[in-house]
Structure 1
Amino acid sequence: MAPPTSVANAAPASASLPAPRRSSKLLIGVVLAVGLLAAAGAAAYVFLPRFTGAASTEAAKPPVPEKPIFVMLDPLTVNLQAEGRSRFLQIGMALRVRDEHAKAQIVEFMPELRSRLLVQLSNRAPESLVTPEDKARLAEEIRTALNAPLTPQTPELGISSVSFNIFVVQ
């Protein structure tokens, strides 16, 4: 009886032999799929930052400011509206303009612009030029006055700011 049991035991053992072959093929397929996915992930990690990272870093970079264009004005000395004694304002400034065309217009019309400045500054009281706020207000008023069109056909000059480099009240 022992031999038939061994034959009966041998049949299920031979039936289980093809199962490991199928599972080994499945295992090899899973390992290959995981390997391919890992390779694709590594390639994406290496190559995608070059394409998307460059665009995102360029977008994240602040814009490079343009080189400023300044027009230096010769210093002016102006009589101020003082009661009792003579008071003077000596002032030197630089005008920041938007482009070279505006700079050329300012240089071309400099006598008229200096005249505008003299008229505007001579109407000041010395007490109105003391604090930093007074000077900032004066700079804005000068910018507005000088920006006014020089002729009816021309647009405003494009002066963006006025900076003082000499400011003496005597």
Structure 2
Amino acid sequence: MATPSQPAPAATGAPAPVRRSRKIVLALAVLSTLAAAGGAAVFFMRGNAVLAAPAPKPVKPIFVTLEPLTVNVLPDARQRFLHVGLTLKVNDEKAQARVNEAMPELRSRLLLLLSNRDPAGLASLEDKLALADQIRTELNRPVAKGLPPQGIEGVGFTAFVLQ
């Protein structure tokens, strides 16, 4: 099978080129597998290190409940009233103390804000959400010049009756 221009592989003592290329391919496959395994190990170890870090402790919300209010709203064909209960979500204990100290002023502001309402503008969910935002803005105003805002984050309705 050997041709005159090529000597037989056994006669030269050199390994066959096919076997050398198989060894190279096998070596490259082993190296790439090890590299992939090492990369995966680093990836998962970093991921576990991030997951193992202690999560920040959630801040417990502080709520201040206001006594329910009943106010007359703008009359249409008949006399109408609004009965509303509110809970205020505040930033911290200092804000809670400021709200409790200023409660008479805040209730007065709330009565004035609610009594100047059109009953038709209080019917939909969007109207109630807008009202809650207006209440938060109004009650957050400082009660006196030089004092900080009340620190109210949100307003929640616990009762809402329009008759």
Q: Scaled by the length of structure 1, what TM-score is found?
A: 0.67
Q: Indicate the percent of aligned positions where both proteins have the same amino acid.
A: 49
1:97 to 82, 90, 97: 90
Higher gyration radius (CA):
1
Matches within 5 A, 1:1-170: 52-58=46-52, 63-170=56-163
2 CA distance for matches of 1:100 and 1:118?
25
Aligned-residue offset at 1:83: 2.6
Aligned-residue offset at 1:91: 0.2
Q: Secondary structure at the match of 1:74?
A: coil
Aligned-residue offset at 1:55: 3.2
Larger relative helix fraction: 1
Q: How many residues align?
A: 155
Q: Secondary structure at the match of 2:145?
A: coil
Aligned-residue offset at 1:97: 0.5
Q: Scaled by the length of structure 2, what TM-score is found?
A: 0.70
Task: Read off the aligned partner of 2:126 and give its amino acid letter.
Answer: E
1 CA distance for matches of 2:78 and 2:47?
69
Report Cα offsets for 1:41-78 as digits up to 9, x if no partner.
9xx89x9799744532156x875431111100000000
Aligned-residue offset at 1:92: 0.2
The gaps in structure 2 that reach 5 residues or longer are 1-34
TM-align CA RMSD: 3.9
Task: Read off the aligned partner of 2:100 and give its amino acid letter.
Answer: V
Q: 1:107 to 1:55 in 2, by over 3 A?
A: same
